[in-house]
Structure formats: C-alpha cells, structure tokens
A and B are shown apart, each in its own frame.
Chain A
Amino acid sequence: MPQLDPSTFAPQLFWLLVTFVLLYLAMWKIALPKIGSILQDRQERIDDDLEKAEKLKQDAEAVREAYEKTVAEGRNKAQETIRSASGKMAAEAAAQHATLTEKLNAQTSEAETRINAAKEQALANIRTVATEVTQAAAGKLIGRDISEADAEKAVASILDEERH
C-alpha cells in the first residue's frame, strides 16, 4: 500500500503545511472578509429596505384612514341633507294636503247644499206638475172636474208612500 511508505511522509507533510497555511492566509485575509462584507451589506440593505417598506406601509395606512374618514363624513353629511330635505318636503306635502282637503270639503258641502236645494225644488215642481197632470187626466177619464185640492191630496199620498 503506497500510503504506508514512510519515505513519502516528509514531502507530503511539508507541502501539506505549506499549502494549508497559504490557503488559510488566503481565506483569512482575502476571501472570507470579502464574502462577509458582501453578506453584511446585503443584510443591511435588506433590513433597510424592510424598514422603508414598513414606513411606506404605515404611510399608506394613514392615507387610507384619512380617506375612509373623509368618505364617512361625506356620507353622514349627505344623509343629513337627505333627511332634512325629506322632512321639509313631507311637511310641505302635509300642509298642501290639508289645505286641499279643506277646500274639497268646503266645495263638497256647498255642492251638497245646492243639490239638496235643487232636489227640494225639483220635488216641489214634480208635485205641482203631477197635481196638474192628475187633475187633467182624471177630468178626462171620469168626465168631470176634480178640485185642485183633491188632486193634490192624491198625489201627495202616492208620493209620500213612495218616499217611504
């Protein structure tokens, strides 16, 4: 086994020492600080960016809150306006409705009075006409004159009967 040949030990150990120490120095002084600084830069950058992002997020949140507040205020105001306007309109409508009702009632009662008067008059007229017609018709039928009072009596009895 070539690994167990002691004559090869010295050069291997010597070059192991040389190359390992050189590599150690290269790592310690050059490579690792380089990588370490870049990693640190990146970490700082990331932290910085995260901080910035956090701040921006807070700003956005504040803006959103302000916006929502404005919207809520606007909505309240609008509702207030609507409420007052509808109240006013309802009051107006009620007032108009009341005046109209009053007027209509007055007209209705006036018309009723007129109708009643007309009806009374018409009834009176009917009675006169009917009496005359009865007097004339009876005179023609039975061949003798009937007194106006008898005719009126007969008409009145029939009309009164009908009215009941």
Chain B
Amino acid sequence: MAAEGHGPLAQFEIKTLIPLKLGEIDVSFTNSALFMSLTLVLVTLFLVLGMRKRALVPGRWQSMAEMSYEFVANLLRDTVGSEGRKYFPLVFTLFMFILFGNMLGMIPYSFTFTSHVIVTFAMALAVFIGVTVLGFVKHGFHFFSFFVPPGVSVVLWPLMIPIEIISYLSRPISLSVRLFANLTAGHTMLKVFAGFIISLGVVGGVLPFAFVVALTGLELLIAFLQAYVFTILTCFYINDALHLH
C-alpha cells in the first residue's frame, strides 16, 4: 500500500474537528458532520437560488432544480399514488441528502458520510420505524395481515408468515447495507487503483490511471443510483404501509 496512514480505508476515518459534549454524549463536530452540513447548505442553496428568478421559462439552473423536484414527485406518484403526496417533503429530503452526500464524496480529499453504516442504518431504521408506525396508524391490527401473503393456502401459513416477517425485519438492514457497501466498496477500489498509479510510476501507472478515470465515471453513476434506490425503496415501503398488499 501507499504511505502510512493513507491506506484505502483511511478516507473513511472520522476526524474530530471541534470537540463538543452534550452532557455525557460526544457530539463533536467531525469531518462527517462537516460534509452533512455542506450537504444541507448546498441542497438548500441549489434549490433556493436556482428558483430565485421564478422564471416561467426556466434557465439551466432552475431546470435542474425543477427536474429534481419532478423526478422525486413522479417517483412517489408512480409507486404510492396521490396519497403519497403528504410524504413528498420527507422523500425528497432523503433523496437530496443522500444524492448530495454521495456526490460530495466524489470530490477528491472529501469525506463520504453515506459510506458509514451507522449513518445509512439510522436513516433506514427511521424509514422502517416510520412506515411501520404509518401502517399501524392506517390499518390498526389489520396491519398484521401484511405478513400473510394473499392467495396462499392456510397449510403454508406456518412457513410463509415467518418468512414474511423476517423479510420485513431485514428491510432496514438491506436498505442501509446496500448504500453503505456500494459507497465503501467503490471508494476503496478508487483508492486502491489510485495507489497503483503512484507505485507503478509514470509508465506503468497509465493503465491504473485510465481505470481510475473510468471507475470515477462509474462511481458517479452509482452515487446517483444508490440515492435513487434508497428513495424508491422508501416509496415502496410507504406504499406497502398504506395499501398493505
């Protein structure tokens, strides 16, 4: 590997920038917190400044802002229907937060907060608890019928119901690990191949360099795709909670 302290996993290290304590709890402002804050600021500026002209015929920036709005709105409408309208701000926030977090992580020397499983798991768990509560509020105990697959004979229930429950409970895990693993793997691979460029020198380094360029393109795609996947799965879960089967 390359120089000490610069291994492929060093990029994921949490570095405390401003040590803070809230009672007993460590709430230090870290590099992760910095990029979350940057995401917050950039998303807000992107949308608010993009829409400041309120042009009837949008310019490029305004088009992008509107496109992101319509993209998520269509996603939600296609999966949930008109009842999903209420959850649009939340779904939109999720999408933009993950998308900008992923994209900021593509900048060299930056930090990708979505590559930390605790962050993705917290988001996935919040979604999971949210849709479960929503399901119970909407359907009461009838919500449990969700675990009984329709059209399956009673004989198979003892087999099917545990499977359904396990698959339901594994949702937050699959949701969070998918995002975290994709980003961690991608960034690690980028770093490994970037290390090859240095160790192989000017002549031999051309190949890994070309690979890193191609991989960067792929990672940009994945950065978008994973934000999309997280969002659309959230939409599906909301739909399940609202409509059961």
Residues of the A chain whose Cβ atoms lie less than 8 Å from the Cβ of B39: 19, 23
Name A19's contact: one of B9, B22, B37, B47 (CB within 8 Å). Answer: B37
By the criterion CB–CB under 8 Å, are B93 and A24 in contact? yes
Tell me whether B96 is interfacial, beta carbon within 8 Å: yes
By the criterion CB–CB under 8 Å, are A16 and B123 in contact? yes
Range for the number of chain A residues in contact with chain B = 35 or more
By the criterion CB–CB under 8 Å, are B9 and A10 in contact? no
Residues of the A chain whose Cβ atoms lie less than 8 Å from the Cβ of B20: 11
By the criterion CB–CB under 8 Å, are B119 and A12 in contact? yes
Tell me whether B191 is interfacial, beta carbon within 8 Å: no
Name A3's contact: one of B25, B33, B70, B184 (CB within 8 Å). Answer: B184
CB distance from A18 to the nearest CB of B (A): 8
Q: With A5-B14, A30-B44 as known contacts, state yes or no: A11 contacts B33, CB within 8 Å.
A: yes
Residues of the B chain whose Cβ atoms lie less than 8 Å from the Cβ of A36: 69
Tell me whether B78 is interfacial, beta carbon within 8 Å: no
CB distance from A44 to the nearest CB of B (A): 11
Residues of the A chain whose Cβ atoms lie less than 8 Å from the Cβ of B92: 27, 32
Q: With A35-B51, A39-B70 as known contacts, state yes or no: A11 contacts B40, CB within 8 Å.
A: no
Contacts across chains A and B counted by CB atoms under 8 Å: 127
Name B97's contact: one of A8, A9, A11, A20 (CB within 8 Å). Answer: A20
CB distance from B114 to the nearest CB of A (A): 10
Residues of the A chain whose Cβ atoms lie less than 8 Å from the Cβ of B16: 11
Residues of the A chain whose Cβ atoms lie less than 8 Å from the Cβ of B25: 10, 14
By the criterion CB–CB under 8 Å, are B33 and A19 in contact? yes
Encoded as 1 (CB less than 8 Å from any A CB) or 0, chain B from 27 to 62 comes to 111101100110110011001100100101000000
Residues of A near any B CB (own CB < 8 A): 1-5, 7-16, 18-20, 22-24, 26-28, 30-32, 34-36, 38-39, 41-42, 45
Residues of B near any A CB (own CB < 8 A): 9-10, 12-14, 16, 20, 22, 25-30, 32-33, 36-37, 39-40, 43-44, 47-48, 51, 54, 56, 65-66, 69-70, 88-90, 92-93, 96-97, 113, 115-119, 122-123, 180, 184
A-B contact pairs, 27 of them (CB 8 A): A1-B9, A2-B10, A3-B117, A3-B180, A8-B14, A10-B27, A11-B14, A11-B27, A11-B32, A12-B32, A12-B33, A12-B116, A15-B27, A15-B36, A15-B37, A16-B36, A16-B122, A19-B36, A19-B97, A23-B43, A27-B93, A27-B96, A31-B44, A34-B48, A35-B65, A38-B66, A45-B56
